[in-house]
Amino acid sequence: YDMDVWHATYLGPPFTSKDYIYSLVCSSMIEHPELYPPAVRYRLVTLTNRAIAKAGLILCISDHIRQVARERYGVSEDRLAVSYLGVSETFQPMDAGLCQDFVRTTYGIDRPYFLFSGRWEPRKNIVRIIEAFAQFKNEIESDIQMVFTGERTWAAEEAEKIIQDNKLQNDVIDLGKSPVGELPQLYAGALALVYPSLWEGFGLPIVEGMAAGIPVITSNNSSMAEIGAEAALLVEPTSVESIAEAMHNIASDEALRVSMRTRGLERAKKFSWKKTAEETLALYEQFANSHKKSC
């Protein structure tokens, strides 16, 4: 087809005769290839390298990603653009009682809980989250649970062993991959979102948690420090002690929870899908016009 703009939104095509826009959504396959199985790693790295070299414009979903493309690959600024992801308007503060009724009726959860949202894979740091939660439970007497929502992958076996070894079967709840329509209530009903991933290109759950009006614990590296900024509690993701300390601070300090809720709600206003769409459309028009002139 004779198209004006061709946009590869996750991986670039192996071969193409058309110049195209490429969305670079993560740098973990570049910075931390050890986090992926060999076959997955080879495919991701090969197609990502090719796309970065060939694309007419690289659309980055965070400034962190733009810096990786510029510094590691030497991509010139005129081939780079940044447009943040947005957050669904369904993520918003909700009545605590209604949320408690929902999670109790839907999932049988009748205790306060920390929430993790994402796939059970090495990059998401699931093992250290569980180890930190075990340390948190050992240090203070608390009925707080750790709830996971997301698909299990090849990394789940090690995490399951940590749960068994620390006798956390009654305190760690795996909901599997929850329906999208249930996520806003799960977020809003949580004591905090715990998301100390090892590496992210953006970290969408961070913004979802802030928009839902709950404190967010996330990492001090890659894009997460950029997206969470002063509105999140930043931790060293490779330190179990750092994650556990953040859990303790959130659980024990109501003033901190209130402050983080206020800052998070304000920060979340900076991210919307409408803004993302408008910025992306403007780039389409700019890209199409520049190619018409070159022809």
Between CA 15 and CA 102 the distance in angstroms is 49
pLDDT tens digits for 85-116? 999 999 999 998 899 899 999 999 999 999 99
In the sheet with 21-24, reading across from the earlier edge strand, the strands are 7-8, 21-24, 57-60, 80-82
Q: Report, in this order, helix, strand and coil percent for the chain, each rounded to 5.
A: 50, 15, 35
pLDDT digits over 159-218, tens only?
Answer: 999 999 999 999 999 999 999 999 999 999 999 999 999 999 999 999 999 999 999 999
Q: Which amino acid is at 71?
A: E
Q: What crossing angle do the helices spanning 254-268 and 240-252 adopt, rounded to 10°?
A: 100
DSSP-based three-state secondary structure for 26: coil
Query: According to the model, what pLDDT value does residue 32 have?
Result: 87
Residues near 33 by beta carbon (within 8 Å), at least 6 away in sequence: 41, 45
Pairwise CA distance, residues 281 & 288, whole Å? 11
Asked whether residue 294 carries a pLDDT value surpassing 70, the answer given is: no
Whole-structure pTM value: 0.93
